[in-house]
Structure 1
Amino acid sequence: MQLNQVPGDLGGSTGLLGTSGGQKDLASSPAEKQAAARAIEQHIEPDTRKAGDGADEETVSAVKAFSHGWLTSGALKKAHDTWDEQVRNLMNRLASDKGALRGANTTLQKTDSAAGAKARSVSVIDEY
């Protein structure tokens, strides 16, 4: 058996990064990374914080209302504590992603510079 060409339909669908099948759209520009970091900072973080805080007052009231002999009170408080923890984890993840987007270009430049310096240090051309 011999393969002379790639099959015509490789399948696949458009994903989050705009890829489809064999297309390669994985790279983004520094401007796009900065725009994504701004979107996290100006919209996603505040909206997430607002949604996370939205249930606080009502849940505290419900816990107090059910606190006299109801098992529901403890379960509701535990569920709310879990919710708060998940919101905190999400906020931390968003902050981390924002920082990574803003630092990606610097990190890549440092890595490229270090690799270039290492390659130059073993170059036989420098000896001539």
Structure 2
Amino acid sequence: MRLNGTGAPAGPLAPGGSGTFGSTPVEKTAAANTIETELEPHTKTATKHADEATTTAVKGFDGWNTVSGLKKLADTWDKQVKVLVGRLGSEKSALRGASGLFVRNGSGLGDQFRPIGQSRLNGIQGHWC
């Protein structure tokens, strides 16, 4: 690979690449906010409605063998919802963490490269033949 980019592999940071890497910190934050403000509350609301409907059905079938099946179904549903809500929370945290990590890494790299522009050779006068 040469410094002018000839022979550089195609990719997001290579010349001619798309210039994007996955998603921006803003997009990650927006996705985390969507999980928090929409998916988590709507999942909890749907769970509440399903639990209420199951409770009504259990009362309606009181004395029937169907009740044990409905209770088992409700227990399975509740366990699955708990896993889903936990997963949503994990994804939300991961998105926020990744967003912050990219910003911190970008700032850190920028700080590392700033001194390069301040060469100690500036201001030195030499005699050239």
Say yes or no: does 1:71 pair with 2:71: no
- What CA distance in whole angstroms lies between the structure 2 residues aligned with 1:38 and 1:74? 39
**Separation in 1 of the partners of 2:67 and 2:84?**
26
CA distance in 2, matches of 1:96, 1:24: 28
Task: Give the RMSD, CA atoms, in angstroms.
Answer: 2.5
Structure 1: gaps (5+ residues): 1-22, 117-128
Q: RCO greater where, 1 or 2, for CA within 8 Å and sep 6 or more? A: 2
Separation of aligned partners in 1, 2:24 and 2:77: 36
Please show how residues 81-100 of structure 1 align to structure 2 within 5 Å.
Answer: 81-100=75-94
**2:14 is the counterpart of 1:39:** no
Deviation at 1:24, TM superposition (A): 9.1
* Pairs within 5 Å for 1:1-16: none
Paired residues, what number?
Answer: 90
Corresponding position of 1:124:
none
Q: SS in structure 2 opposite 1:102?
A: helix
Q: Which residue of 2 aligns with 1:55?
A: 50
Structure 1 counterpart of 2:22: 27
State the alpha-carbon separation in 2 of the partners of residues 72 and 36 from structure 1. Answer: 41
2-side partners of 1:26 and 1:67: how far apart?
57
1:9-67 per-position Cα deviation (integer Å, ceiling 9, x unaligned): xxxxxxxxxxxxxx896511100000000010001111111111111122112213323
- Among all aligned residue pairs of Structure 1 and Structure 2, give the percentage whose two residues are the same amino acid: 47
Gaps of 5+ in 2: 1-17, 113-129
2:21 & 2:68 partners in 1: Cα distance?
47
Measured in 2, the distance between the counterparts of 1:24 and 1:85 equals: 43
Q: Normalised by the size of structure 1, how large is the TM-score? A: 0.61
The structure-2 alpha-carbon separation of the partners of 1:63 and 1:24, relative to structure 1 and needing over 3 Å to count, comes to farther
1:101 and 2:95 matched = yes
